[in-house]
Amino acid sequence: MSRPAPAATVPLVLVPALGLSQGGFPPDRWVWAGALAAWAAALAAVLADDAGGLRGAWPWLATAGALLAWTLASSLWSVDSEQSVLDARRTLVYTAVVLALLVLARPGAGALVLATHAAITFVAVYALARYLVGGHRTTFEANLLSDPLGYANALGIVAALGGLLGLGVATTAASRRVRVAAAATLPVLVTALELTGSSASWLALALGLAVSVVLEPVRTRVLRVLACAALPCASAIVLARESGLAALAPPRIDGWVVAVGTVACALATAVLVGRFGDVPVRGRTLPAWLLTAVALALLALAFATVVAYGAARKPRSLYYSVAWRHEYLPHPLLGSGAGTFGSYWDRFGQVTVWGGALDAHSLYLETLAELGPVGLVLVLAFLAYPFRAALTARGRPYASAATAAYAAFVFHAGLDWDWEMPVVVVAGLACGAAVIAGAPAESARLGTTARAAVVAASLVLGGFAIVGARSHAQPGSALKLREAPKGLSHVLQVRRGYDLP
């Protein structure tokens, strides 16, 4: 395992904190999340002797900053400038998180992978305990597992990312105890995923598994861990599905029984992986040309899946149609302004059938509609940058797990409103930072000018995050929800069918 990295504190603190605070959806959560991340970067820049991962990965931070600037600038031509500024405040959090991850990062992906997996597992266990043992189920999400995030699909993708990271730890960790402990989390995470009913998260998990198997140099080891975990995980999934807990009808199996069964499956996975999971550590990475061909094939498959999934399912197909026909085509150069989809859905969508909606359920289409081609290029450049490091990081410890989880996050963002749930984005960015940290690099000293620039940027980001506390704006549209109460639960209440998988 790589030596501890200060960057591990970012997911360890922010993922549970945001996860237990409605996923970070309410704007008041962005105040402390952005300030904590920014000021952690400032403190590291002052106290640390080296530049962390900043010198080699500055384009990632530059694209994040450019996206933030363009989002804020869109308020100048937006049809709802207040919502555009609100979107910029959320993007500020992501920029501050990237800055903190890069300044605090050290070579080696292990610490970030382990910390992000641990943070996600904590959120999933807490969610399951409330749901199964505490009987905390809400009709806002048709009894699906959604709390404490408040949105079932967000919890689903978070669980999927945790599962991919857990598989990587169970495959790669030098310590046998760590491998066994990570393997034991797999049935817990797939149980949480099943109870969310998030089919898009299952697709993301499948893509991530494919990436993991392709990139892992010792494929026999990852396949053996998968074989050991297959039966216990399948049993946990079947038990959760057959319980009927996530259905509107009375459950057929009590939550306590599902909880005990899930624990039994976790113990069985730990025993099987501990007994049969080890194989001799030898293998080789695929040649670069073959990896490129496989990556292109997976990219084409992912794109086709996104298009087919969106076209075949309502109301997503309707969201996409409104975003393209009524929002982007009338504003092909600059877009309609960040955060304005809700206004167009209220005017042109089937509100009486599907309820209100604030997001197009696809980061990429929504960005094109709201921020125009420039915004889409910036989002794609920002999210694509860690994949650049994936080629040089292949074969190194934890690199395949980090890349697989990050690929799942980027894919799922095209099928849902992950960008509006900071807990999902912070977990995904931590995976991206782990990919970058996994690439060979040498720490370099941070010069006086660079150190001053980092401190200044951190203080500006943290200061503006704090200033946001004076704003009382809430996610909404120009036509509705202007006086809505704070919190995600109210938004879900007024949108019949909006958030169903």
pLDDT at 1: 42
Q: Does the pLDDT of residue 190 top 60, yes or no?
A: yes
pLDDT of residue 286: 53
Does pLDDT of 65 surpass 80? yes
- Collapsing DSSP to helix, strand or coil, 355 comes out as coil
What's the confidence (pLDDT) of residue 62?
Answer: 94
Task: Over range 10-26, report the average pLDDT.
Answer: 95
Q: Kindly list the distances between the CA atom of residue 373 and the CA atoms of 78, 147, 151, 332, 360, in Å, as whole numbers in the listed order.
A: 15, 35, 29, 8, 16
**CA distance linking residue 343 with residue 458, whole number of Å:** 34
**pLDDT interval class at 443 (50, 70, 90):** low
pLDDT level of residue 141 (50, 70, 90 thresholds): confident
* In the block, residue with structure tokens 């960008």: 419
| Burial tier of 76 (Cβ tally within 10 Å: 0-12, 13-18, 19+) | exposed
For residue 445, list its beta bridge partners: 50
**240: nearest Cα among 366, 124, 365:** 124
- For 292-336, how does the pLDDT look when each residue is reduced to its tens digit (9 = 90+)? 666 667 666 666 666 666 556 678 889 999 999 999 999 999 999
> Of 287, 131, 135, 107, nearest to 194 (Cα)?
131
Q: What is the C-alpha separation between 226 and 457, in angstroms, rounded?
A: 44
- How sure is the predictor about 492, in pLDDT bands with cuts at 50, 70 and 90? very low
What pLDDT is recorded for position 93? 97
- Condensed to tens digits (0 to 9), the pLDDT of residues 462-484 reads 999 999 888 888 887 655 434 33
Query: Higher pLDDT residue, 160 or 346?
Result: 160
The predicted pLDDT at position 284 comes to: 53
Q: What is the DSSP letter of 349?
A: S
- Has residue 289 got a pLDDT over 70? no
Confidence label for 77 from pLDDT (cuts 50, 70 and 90): very high
Q: Which amino acid is at 78?
A: S
pLDDT in tens, 367-406: 999 999 999 999 999 999 999 888 776 667 788 899 999 9
- Indicate left, alpha or beta for 349 from its phi (over 0: left) and psi (-120 to 50: alpha): beta
255-269 exposure pattern, b = at least 16 Cβ within 10 A, e = fewer: beebbebbeebbebb
- With both helix axes pointing from N to C terminus, report the angle between 448-467 and 28-47 in degrees, rounded to the nearest 10: 160
